[in-house]
Amino acid sequence: MENLHVVIGLEMHCELKSNSKVFSDGRNAYSDTANINVSPVDMAFPGILPVVNKYCVEEAIKMASILHCQIPDVMIFDRKNYYYPDLPKGYQITQCSKPVGINGYLEYDSGNKIKRAIIHDIHLEEDSASLDHLNNTSIIDYNRAGVPLLEVVTEPCFNCAKDAVSFLENMIKIYQYTNISDADTKRGQVRCDVNVSLANEKGEYVTPRSETKNVNSLGNIFATINYEEKRQREAYFNHSEELVQETRRFDEDTQTTIRMRTKVDAIDYKYFIEPNIPPFKIEKEMVDKIVNDIPELPLSRKQRYLNEYKLTEEDANTLIKNKDLSDYYDECIKIGIDKQIASNWVTVNILGELNKSNISIKDFYITPNYLKQITDNILNNNISSKQAKEIFAKSILENKEPNTYIKDNTQLSDESYLRDLIVSIINNNLAQKEAYLNGKTNLFDYFVGQVMKETKGKANPVITKKLLRDLLNK
Ligand code: ADP
Ligand code: MG
């Protein structure tokens, strides 16, 4: 039997985070109340004109440059004409003739292996309204109409469902690290068109590709690819059906895909340049400034953790799960906590605490500096690791910095404090000092006893004895 493999190309849509919509001053915000974030432009009232949101263009350029795309020197929008009830204008403003980025690539991590996705283009466009079909009624919410969308189109460069989904996971993290989008799949901010076909060992396509539209979670995308692979294999080998290039949709209940239309009924969108938006120049200085503001991205952080800090894959993956956590860890290293020790605290104790109390690292009481109070005292043998965990818990519970408990509950190792104490004890016991110096060496223990009495037994005995030996013989 011929050896076939699956080939996947993705069109990933992601809603941008911005104050207002991409071509209007309607608010871009998620709302449970329908039709409150709507401007006349979003409703396509007669006489309205779109105005390009500069911030959205900058964010689009940011993503284009992260994807190593060529960025054109002018920004041009196109009109894509079709009728649908969720599209009041009868057309969508998108980019087709000159997308904001073309011919790029992205290195991504799939199962701890670095792979490369080939990017065909990235373009900026507007979202449609959201339509919901109830039993006898359909309802429409224009809050989403005109929300900025970035669409990233990959080449058919993935050869298994896992790689395609890993690529999307990497993209979602990049959107979040750069703050371009929350990329929250639960709120429908990420949607994908999933293109699948089968190829032989020579790389020739042997089945026409199917395009499954608007799949909205990583789990569903994974299921779509696996179902399509299976369906096309059966059609190819067992002639269970005749395959044609077609558009399908994913059915969540049955975890299968269902035909919507074939290429024969493909829509002709009659694209032309959007006449209401004059093309405008993308200045090089603007691009440079945007590129400069890109923070270190998750994959680069992961490689730093692995190669320079020698952390395990597992710990590195945990630390880069979100930017705030990774920033926290980086701050720990910056102020001098050991890389491995910091990693252990963050991935075990701190994450455990955050999960338990369901708060984010940004609101966590123990700052990197407080953590350092704990880790320094472990390193000095001032507290045991068991005590450290108790202090950590107490500090969170009572909102008091770890040092409070370290002075109160544990060995006193502060040399200058002990030195002052010992000097005053000696000055109050000059006769004993004299006798000690004249050969009554067992009086040494008398002095140790005095220090312990004064410190309620907390003085570090090693340091106490060392200081006593120095100070008595002076
Ligand atoms: P169209 O313009 O007809 O919609 P494109 O050729 O631009 O199609 O491709 C759209 C998407 O389909 C891209 O993500 C691309 O990678 C993917 N694609 C194209 N050919 C195949 C194929 N044979 N198998 C899987 N995906 C494909
Ligand atoms: Mg599109």
pLDDT tens-digit readout, 183-198: 999 999 999 999 999 9
> Hey, how many other C-beta atoms are within 10 angstroms of the C-beta on 134?
7
Which ligand 1 atom is the nearest neighbour of the CA of 266? 3
Query: Which residue, among 147, 158, 145, has the nearest Cα to 115 in the 3D structure?
Result: 158
Domain boundary among 257, 289, 321: 289
Q: Which residues contact 50 (CB under 8 A, 6 or more apart)?
A: 23, 24, 41, 93, 274, 276, 277
Instruction: Choose the weakest-confidence range: 46-55, 214-223, 390-399, 449-458.
Output: 449-458
* 366 & 235 share domain: no
Does 357 map to a domain?
A: yes
Using CB atoms within 10 A of its CB, is residue 245 exposed (0-12), middle (13-18) or buried (19+)?
middle
The rounded Å distance from CA 131 to ligand 1 centre is: 26
pLDDT at 408 > cutoff 70: no
pLDDT at 432 > cutoff 60: yes
Residue nearest to atom 13 of ligand 1 (CA): 9
Which ligand 1 atom is the nearest neighbour of the CA of 155? 16
pLDDT at 407 > cutoff 70: no
* 304 & 277 share domain: no
* 150 & 192 share domain: yes
Residue nearest to atom 11 of ligand 1 (CA): 9
For the Cβ of 99 lying below 6 angstroms from any atom of ligand 1, the answer is no
pLDDT at 242 > cutoff 70: yes
* 449 & 467 share domain: yes
Residue among 10, 105, 195 whose CB has most ligand 1 atoms within 8 A, to mutate = 195
Average pLDDT over residues 87-111: 97
- DSSP, collapsed to helix, strand or coil, labels residue 321 as coil
**Which ligand is located closest to the Cα atom of residue 209?**
1
Q: Which residues contact 333 (CB under 8 A, 6 or more apart)?
A: 309, 339, 342
For the Cβ of 195 lying below 6 angstroms from any atom of ligand 1, the answer is yes
pLDDT at 409 > cutoff 70: no
For the Cβ of 5 lying below 6 angstroms from any atom of ligand 1, the answer is no
Q: Give me Rg for the CA atoms of the chain.
A: 32
CA 189 to chain centre: 14
Quick check: 111 and 163 in contact, CB under 8 A? no
For the Cβ of 390 lying below 6 angstroms from any atom of ligand 1, the answer is no
The rounded Å distance from CA 195 to ligand 1 centre is: 6
* 87 & 220 share domain: yes
Torsion of CA 152, 119, 252, 259, to 10 degrees: 100
For the Cβ of 205 lying below 6 angstroms from any atom of ligand 1, the answer is yes
Does 409 map to a domain?
A: no
pLDDT at 64 > cutoff 70: yes
Average pLDDT over residues 81-86: 94
* 235 & 371 share domain: no
Q: Which residues contact 257 (CB under 8 A, 6 or more apart)?
A: 210, 212, 224, 227, 228, 231, 248, 249, 250, 251
Residue nearest to atom 7 of ligand 1 (CA): 153
Which residue is listed with tokens 């020739």? Answer: 204
Instruction: Choose the weakest-confidence range: 271-280, 338-347, 406-415, 455-464.
Output: 406-415
* 325 & 381 share domain: yes
* 256 & 369 share domain: no
Question: Angle at CA 263, nearest 5°, toward 84 and 10?
Answer: 80
pLDDT at 21 > cutoff 90: yes
pLDDT at 445 > cutoff 90: yes
Question: Where residue 423 sits, what CATH number does that domain have?
Answer: 1.10.10.410
* 248 & 317 share domain: no
Residue nearest to atom 19 of ligand 1 (CA): 156
**pLDDT at residue number 164:** 98
* 241 & 183 share domain: yes
Quick check: 84 and 121 in contact, CB under 8 A? no
* 284 & 304 share domain: no
Residue nearest to atom 21 of ligand 1 (CA): 156
**pLDDT at residue number 259:** 95
Residue among 209, 214, 225 whose CB has most ligand 1 atoms within 8 A, to mutate = 209
Q: By percentage, how much of the chain surpasses pLDDT 70?
A: 99
pLDDT at 412 > cutoff 80: no
Tell me the C-alpha distance between 414 and 458, whole Å. Answer: 11
Average pLDDT over residues 8-21: 98
The rounded Å distance from CA 151 to ligand 2 centre is: 6
**pLDDT at residue number 367:** 97
Tokens read off for 377: 């005292």
Instruction: Choose the weakest-confidence range: 112-126, 142-156, 262-276.
Output: 262-276
Tally the domains of the chain: 3
Tokens read off for 365: 């009481």
Question: Angle at CA 169, nearest 5°, toward 165 and 171?
Answer: 115
For the Cβ of 10 lying below 6 angstroms from any atom of ligand 1, the answer is yes
Does 424 map to a domain?
A: yes
Residue nearest to atom 20 of ligand 1 (CA): 156
Tell me the C-alpha distance between 174 and 166, whole Å. Answer: 12
Quick check: 210 and 232 in contact, CB under 8 A? yes
Does 406 map to a domain?
A: no
CA 213 to chain centre: 25
For residue 125, what pLDDT band results from cuts at 50, 70 and 90? very high
**Which ligand is located closest to the Cα atom of residue 126?**
2
Does 407 map to a domain?
A: no
pLDDT at 417 > cutoff 60: yes
Does 119 map to a domain?
A: yes
Does 256 map to a domain?
A: yes
Tell me the C-alpha distance between 329 and 412, whole Å. Answer: 29
For the Cβ of 210 lying below 6 angstroms from any atom of ligand 1, the answer is no
pLDDT at 141 > cutoff 70: yes
The mean pLDDT of the chain is 95
Does 53 map to a domain?
A: yes
Query: Which residue, among 331, 409, 111, 397, has the nearest Cα to 345 in the 3D structure?
Result: 331
The rounded Å distance from CA 364 to ligand 2 centre is: 41
* 242 & 274 share domain: yes
For the Cβ of 7 lying below 6 angstroms from any atom of ligand 1, the answer is yes
- Kindly report, residue by residue over 345-392, the tens digit of the pLDDT: 999 999 999 999 999 999 999 999 999 999 999 998 788 888 899 999
Tell me the C-alpha distance between 74 and 284, whole Å. Answer: 11
Give the range of the structural domain holding residue 464, as residue numbers without chain letter: 415-472
Q: Which residues contact 26 (CB under 8 A, 6 or more apart)?
A: 20, 37, 38, 39, 41, 42, 145, 146
Which ligand 1 atom is the nearest neighbour of the CA of 196? 25
Residue nearest to atom 17 of ligand 1 (CA): 9
Average pLDDT over residues 102-128: 97
Which residue would you say has higher pLDDT here, 380 or 206? 206
HEC-encoded secondary structure of 81-122 = ECCCCCCCCCEEEECCCCCCEEEEEEEEEECCEEEEEEEEEE
For residue 264, what pLDDT band results from cuts at 50, 70 and 90? confident
For the Cβ of 198 lying below 6 angstroms from any atom of ligand 1, the answer is no
- Kindly report, residue by residue over 145-190, the tens digit of the pLDDT: 999 999 999 999 999 999 999 999 999 999 999 999 999 999 999 9
Eight-state DSSP code of residue 136: S
Average pLDDT over residues 7-13: 98
